[in-house]
Chain A
Amino acid sequence: MALDNKSEFKYIGTRPNRPDGLDKVTGRARYGADAYAPGMLHGAVLRSPHAHAKILNIDASKALAMEGVKAIVTRNDFAKGLEGDDWDLLENTIAGEKTLYDGHAVAGIAATSVLVAKDALKLIEVEYEVIPHVTDVDAAMADGAPVIREGAADHSVPEGLHPNVVRYTEFGRGDLDAGFAAADMVVDRSFKTEAVHQGYIEPHACLADLGADGRGELWCCTQGHWFVRRMCSALLGLETTQLRVTASEIGGGFGGKTTVFIDPIALALSRKAGKPVKLVMSRSEVLKASGPTASASMDVKMGMTKDGKLTAATASFRMQGGAFPGAPMDMTTMLAFSCYALDNVHHEGFDVMTNRPKQAAYRAPGAPMGAFAVESVMDELCEGLGLDPIETRLKNAVKEGTKSAFGPRYKAIGLIETLEAARDHPHYSAPLAENTGRGVASGYWMNWGGETSVSLAIGEDGAVQVGVGTPDIGGSRASMALMAAEAIGIPYENVRVNVLDTAALGTNEPSHGSRATYASGLATIEAAREAIGKLCQRAADKWGIDAEAVEWKDGAAYPSGPNAGDFEPLSIADIAGEMGSTGGPITGHHDASPTGFGGSFGTHIVDVHVDPDTGRSTVKRYTVIQDAGKAIHPSYVEGQFQGGAAQGIGWALNEEYVYGEDGRLQNDVFLDYRIPVASDLPMIDTVIVEVPNPGHPYGVRGVGETGITPPLPAVANAISHATGHRMTRLPMSPPRVLRAIQGKGIS
């Protein structure tokens, strides 16, 4: 599919009210926990209080005898003989022989009320044998560290590494020695980031109704209900199409709702009890036992000439993703140097298991950590050589045709455009107050296509319905309606976009990978074009001419020229009003796994004030500049930029998983796991750069993820400039910054 080369859009780029706005400002919108069913039971989950323990025995007899308790499930109630990813998923959903982290599910209960279910949990007697644990990535790789699971490593891991190292990657090109020898300055630094949580405000919630005949319904908050269907079917031994999954409205996900945690337990309880079961996580359960991101320990070495040309770069990334393989070291390694043209470059990555929850995707998974390390070193090189950080980035920036550090040559991309916009932005030259530093950083995410299926149908009045399979997590109904309106030439208000259930469409990947507006949008446009073809055919039949002689514009069929004949145009309403007698329903449909997705670069500028007496950092000004390809609804593009920046600021300054010596999570409520609040942040300025993606008819790239990549290094660079101390560890909490100011090091 090629770019339309449409120079003027009628609807794309406007800012209409979102179609689901009214529902979401009045409390009408139904989220995961807002569903009820007749005869419904309530579920609760018993969780391990230990970081690592053998389960010797589970005695649920007292709980089962309690009045109102209808079913109890343990690992025995799930599919047997699973392997690979399915086994990992089951093992994470409900513990088998061992509990692997604080909060690991051990049993589920369904009862007539939430209170009864919670009381009954206390009557389940579990006999544990506590065994040694490890939660730090470097400690988990060291000799003598407790082994999470023997034999979990795949063939990529070189001999001699600890069994907790389960995957390894290594790649590069060029002559590193010669590259570093050609440098006038070399910086070699180690960095560490802690695990953080996506922090969606809506806890996981579902309502399951599964019969003993293997036919079921599941309502849940998810970014991708076909993923949920596949995972739950595997864990419960069902045929996929016998389980119909409906996505509720979703209260945030950021990657964390692309897998399952409680849904299989609710289904198993429902099957056993013969009744619908509603199961909702508490915040503490979300933090302990859903999927935070990986933590990382990293070494980055880069060399630069005195005029600002990078000569060589190497990086080693050690990442823990909990008690299972899957830390996103692939993406961290691939994207660490993605902003720069490098002839001599090398990457190494380690996927390490620890006694923590299984990590899940979080907005550009793996990229922010690598960017933190690389963009910090880049900043230190510029500082050391007295070079401007934006001009120096421009000197090394990748562009169309540049061979990326991870191999392929870039297609049309917009890094240089974001850097130029940053350089020219008034923020970059504004004066700085005392004890305030300015940080700059760039970042990248390559985005994704993925399996996509969209159906479109014309109503008898000429209005249009679009059925998509990507849940609307931040305004995508509006984007789809704009694209359908543009393609067909009818008003935005005449399009209704519905998120359909798994029984209504072919497989759709989740709203992840910044793909919804790109892939569902592309399929919406193609489905609209198919419908337009049918509309033209109906007009041609009525006029008695060939369909090729009919032209579609502004929502109506016209004879394509004087030779086609002299006919009054037929509007979409005219044709639709007669469709029952002219051949039946008029629809369009498109299935694809589009591969023309286009990556998005961003550059951020931030001013941070550091209180020299307390070490407290305050973000005073923030500007996000990012390439959207084409902004379909600019307000929601800006919103993605702002939200990504805010999450990155939280990761940089406040957020972290704190494990005690007992291996238990110390901060499992929002008071202690502190995400940015309104009084922590300034306004976040945005600049939308548009370098069209040739792989989408209107040029869309996808904008969701890139925005969380630059903030970590941008904030760190600003604090380093404000304090004169290079910050190499996140979060840059007041005590840590104060220690740096006092010359006590970065611990």
Chain B
Amino acid sequence: MTRIHVNTTVNGDKVDFLADPRETLLDCLRDKVGMTGAKEGCGTGDCGACSVTLDGRLVCSCLVLGVEAEGKQVETIEGMANGGELHPLQQKFIEYAALQCGICTPGILVATQALLKKNPDPTEEEVRYWLAGNLCRCTGYDKIIRAVMDTAKDLRAEKVGGDV
């Protein structure tokens, strides 16, 4: 099948690749752009391990075609830290032991960052429902929820709200 030349932006950098129209954005990010931070846990949009944002909107990259990234801004887990400086969410996840195996962690961090951009002061229930599409089999979610709630609190206290 003819492959399509896709021009897009990933974490602020212009990239281009040739995509079979059947290939997902997740496949393209991993196999063509070389960013393996997003994971395929299900391929059906149920687990959220492949979460990225597309023009600021949180999506499962396994449900987006690679060719749909044309002209768009893609943000992945690889773009979350500022060089060597971790995002407060990343730092808090480590401090709170909010990961065990870590396979769901990139997706959960990307999803959580998207939540805090929309809602810097979520209730526990709002966090739980927002993350209901991100499966974690190791932690029982307890430490994840605590890490998210406390990061949100810290960010509000620091009044960095514009830059979560």
Across-interface contacts of A20 in B (CB, < 8 A): 102
Whether the Cβ atoms of A202 and B133 lie closer than 8 Å is: no
Docked CA distance A639–B99 (Å): 9
- Which residues 8-66 of B sit at the A interface, judged by CB distance below 8 A? 20, 22-23, 27, 30-31, 35-44, 46-47, 49
Indicate which residue in B1, B30, B80, B134 contacts A678 across the interface (CB closer than 8 Å).
Answer: B134
Indicate which residue in A33, A201, A643 contacts B135 across the interface (CB closer than 8 Å).
Answer: A201
**Does A3 touch B at the CB level, under 8 Å?**
no
Whether the Cβ atoms of A643 and B137 lie closer than 8 Å is: yes
Size category of the binding interface on chain A: 35 or more
**Does A475 touch B at the CB level, under 8 Å?**
yes
Do A642 and B140 form a contact, CB below 8 Å, given A26-B77, A115-B23? yes
Query: How far does the Cβ of B20 sit from chain A's closest Cβ, in whole Å?
Result: 6
Query: How far does the Cβ of A202 sit from chain B's closest Cβ, in whole Å?
Result: 4
Docked CA distance A639–B102 (Å): 13
**Does A9 touch B at the CB level, under 8 Å?**
no
Indicate which residue in B23, B97, B133 contacts A636 across the interface (CB closer than 8 Å).
Answer: B97
Across-interface contacts of A203 in B (CB, < 8 A): 40-41
Whether the Cβ atoms of B80 and A26 lie closer than 8 Å is: yes
Docked CA distance A28–B36 (Å): 8
Across-interface contacts of A473 in B (CB, < 8 A): 100-101
Whether the Cβ atoms of A635 and B46 lie closer than 8 Å is: no
Whether the Cβ atoms of B137 and A283 lie closer than 8 Å is: no
Closest B residue, CB atoms, query A221: B103
Whether the Cβ atoms of A474 and B138 lie closer than 8 Å is: yes
Docked CA distance A202–B40 (Å): 7
Q: Mark A616-653, 1 if CB is under 8 A from B, else 0.
A: 00000000000000000101101110110111000000
Query: How far does the Cβ of A683 sit from chain B's closest Cβ, in whole Å?
Result: 5
Docked CA distance A71–B105 (Å): 36
Docked CA distance A523–B134 (Å): 37
**Does B81 touch A at the CB level, under 8 Å?**
yes
**Does B150 touch A at the CB level, under 8 Å?**
no
Across-interface contacts of B44 in A (CB, < 8 A): 283, 669-671
Whether the Cβ atoms of B142 and A642 lie closer than 8 Å is: yes
Whether the Cβ atoms of A635 and B143 lie closer than 8 Å is: yes
Task: Please tell me which stretch of A128-136, A248-256, A526-534 contacts chain B, meaning at least 4 of its Cβ atoms lie within 8 angstroms of it.
Answer: A248-256
Indicate which residue in B39, B42, B81, B141 contacts A681 across the interface (CB closer than 8 Å).
Answer: B141
Q: Mark B89-105, 1 if CB is under 8 A from A, else 0.
A: 01001111101111111
Whether the Cβ atoms of A643 and B46 lie closer than 8 Å is: no
**Does A21 touch B at the CB level, under 8 Å?**
yes
Docked CA distance A643–B135 (Å): 12
Across-interface contacts of B164 in A (CB, < 8 A): none
**Does A679 touch B at the CB level, under 8 Å?**
yes
Whether the Cβ atoms of B100 and A636 lie closer than 8 Å is: yes
Docked CA distance A184–B96 (Å): 50
Closest B residue, CB atoms, query A282: B43
Whether the Cβ atoms of B103 and A202 lie closer than 8 Å is: yes
Across-interface contacts of A647 in B (CB, < 8 A): 137
Docked CA distance A22–B84 (Å): 10
**Does B106 touch A at the CB level, under 8 Å?**
yes
Docked CA distance A475–B99 (Å): 8
Do A202 and B139 form a contact, CB below 8 Å, given A21-B94, A27-B106? no
- Which residues 63-121 of A sit at the B interface, judged by CB distance below 8 A? 113-115
Whether the Cβ atoms of B99 and A24 lie closer than 8 Å is: yes
Docked CA distance A636–B96 (Å): 10
Docked CA distance A633–B109 (Å): 23
Whether the Cβ atoms of A683 and B145 lie closer than 8 Å is: yes
Indicate which residue in B93, B125, B139 contacts A639 across the interface (CB closer than 8 Å).
Answer: B139
**Does A17 touch B at the CB level, under 8 Å?**
yes
Across-interface contacts of A25 in B (CB, < 8 A): 86, 90, 93-94, 99, 102, 105-106, 109
Across-interface contacts of A254 in B (CB, < 8 A): 137
Indicate which residue in A28, A635, A670 contacts B97 across the interface (CB closer than 8 Å).
Answer: A635
Whether the Cβ atoms of B142 and A200 lie closer than 8 Å is: no
Supply 20 A–B pairs (Cβ within 8 Å), ascending by A. Answer: A17-B95, A21-B93, A25-B102, A31-B36, A34-B36, A200-B101, A201-B136, A251-B102, A252-B101, A474-B138, A639-B138, A647-B137, A670-B47, A670-B135, A676-B141, A678-B127, A678-B129, A678-B141, A678-B145, A681-B141
Which A-B residue pairs are the 4 nearest by beta carbons?
A27-B37, A251-B103, A646-B140, A24-B102
Q: Given A115-B20, A473-B101, 20 other A-B contacts at CB below 8 A?
A: A25-B106, A26-B77, A30-B36, A31-B39, A33-B39, A201-B41, A201-B104, A203-B40, A251-B102, A474-B138, A639-B139, A642-B139, A669-B46, A670-B41, A676-B141, A677-B133, A678-B128, A678-B134, A681-B142, A683-B146
Q: Residues of B at under 8 Å CB distance from A?
A: 1, 20, 22-23, 27, 30-31, 35-44, 46-47, 49, 76-78, 80-81, 86, 90, 93-97, 99-106, 109, 125, 127-129, 131-146
